[in-house]
Amino acid sequence: MRPTRKTNALLWTVQVLLALLFLFAGVMKLIAPLAELEKQSGMSGLFVKFIGLAEAVGAIGLIAPGLAKVGRPLTPLAATGLLIIMVGAVTLTISGGAAALVPFVVGALCAVVAYGRWRVQPVAS
């Protein structure tokens, strides 16, 4: 597949949207009280805070390397890390009986960015 400006624009759009989503979700997990996180998720509050930190750092990793033009190979790694988090979210929502469509779609978008920035349209373009 030959890289195009349209592909690059599409990848940047998806990256920005994912970064905003994960930054919001991560910061909300980081500022919420431990007891509330444990009650809502049924998991350790510290683990949920760790996931929030990983989401916030991953969000920065989706955008910062391309903007700074330094460490560009980190973008597909950040997208892959966020994909792993979404696989866990899908697994938990399915086992909890909730709809897993939203984390599945977000995970699929992370996979598109990871593949697109690794193979189709590297950030260097």
Kindly tell me the burial class for residue 96, based on how many C-beta atoms sit within 10 Å of its own C-beta (0-12, 13-18, 19 or more): exposed
Number of domains in the chain: 1
Q: Give a yes or no: residue 54 inside a domain.
A: yes
Q: Give a yes or no: residue 66 inside a domain.
A: yes
- Parent domain of 48: 5-120
Rounded Cα–Cα distance for residues 77 and 88 (Å): 17
Q: Give a yes or no: residue 125 inside a domain.
A: no
Whether pLDDT at 124 is above 60 = no
The 10s digit of each residue's pLDDT in 79-105 is 999 999 999 999 988 887 778 899 999
Handedness of CA 94, 98, 99, 100 (dihedral sign): negative
The 10s digit of each residue's pLDDT in 46-59 is 999 999 999 999 99
Whether pLDDT at 123 is above 90 = no
Q: Give a yes or no: residue 111 inside a domain.
A: yes
At 90, which helix (H) or strand (E)? helix 74-95
**Helical axes 5-31 vs 45-68, angle rounded to 10°:** 150
Q: Give a yes or no: residue 104 inside a domain.
A: yes
Give residue for tokens 């697994």. 91
